[in-house]
Copies of this chain bind each other. A is one copy, B any other.
């Protein structure tokens, strides 16, 4: 940014602050990368490399590069940590308390994404990256527990209205698997018949006329998410009903 340009940025209210002050704030993206394994919702965490938080885990994140769109930064972090790039990713909220980062002023934009754990071969032992069951997480570095909880709440709001969680499942799944996933996310038990009725009304699923294999009981039918809903942003439609 040139000095001339900076002049233009200034308004009457801000003139007292110098260039260095303005631009002395770091901006990061932090990603809540969620997976689903063994009937549990899990989040990808890395060992914090900061002394202040030694022993604690934190969300993967990185600084935004000056020549990189905000959204691109979130996809980059996701790609670097998981190798995946064609996934659901949603911006949730920006966190900017002064003292949220012990080393200085850092504002972070939080995103969440949902991925199929089995579908990506992650080097878990390297880089101290691990999947952690979200229900067992008590404390994280920085304000990352708050960020995690905020993202989980947003996910819970989205989940019944939008077909967002299918990235957490394999391509073909049974209704039981889908119901168990909903139960894991919402933290409640659902009635099987009512669940099926509600899902069937949504008209999200394609009956592919295949059956489960290798289950120690009667196999269920398999379904896929209809193509038109794959990897769509949750932003689609607001759906206000009010006569």
Contact = CB atoms under 8 A, between A and B. Distances in A.
- Chain A interface size range: 35 or more
B104 A1 contact: yes
B6 A103 contact: yes
A64 to B, nearest CB: 7
Interface string A45-82: 00001110000000000111111111101000000100
Contacts of A62: 11, 13-14
Interface in A19-34: 21-27
A9 B22 contact: no
State how many copies of this chain the complex holds: 2
Given A106-B9, A243-B194, A25 B66 contact: yes
A14 B186 contact: no
B80 A96 contact: no
Contacts of A215: none
A51 B26 CA distance: 28
A17 B63 contact: yes
Interface in A197-232: 198
A80 B13 contact: yes
Given A22-B63, A69-B96, A96-B70, A243 B190 contact: yes
A140 interface: no
Interface string A126-168: 0000000000000000000000000001001100100000000
A68 B98 CA distance: 6
Interface of A: 1-2, 5-6, 8-9, 11, 13-14, 17, 21-27, 49-51, 62-71, 73, 80, 91, 93-98, 101-107, 109, 153, 156-157, 160, 182, 186, 188, 190-191, 194-195, 198, 238, 240, 242-243
27 contacts: A1-B24, A1-B103, A5-B103, A6-B104, A8-B49, A8-B50, A9-B26, A9-B101, A9-B106, A22-B63, A23-B23, A27-B27, A64-B96, A66-B105, A67-B105, A68-B98, A69-B96, A69-B97, A70-B97, A73-B96, A91-B94, A156-B240, A160-B240, A188-B242, A191-B243, A194-B243, A198-B242
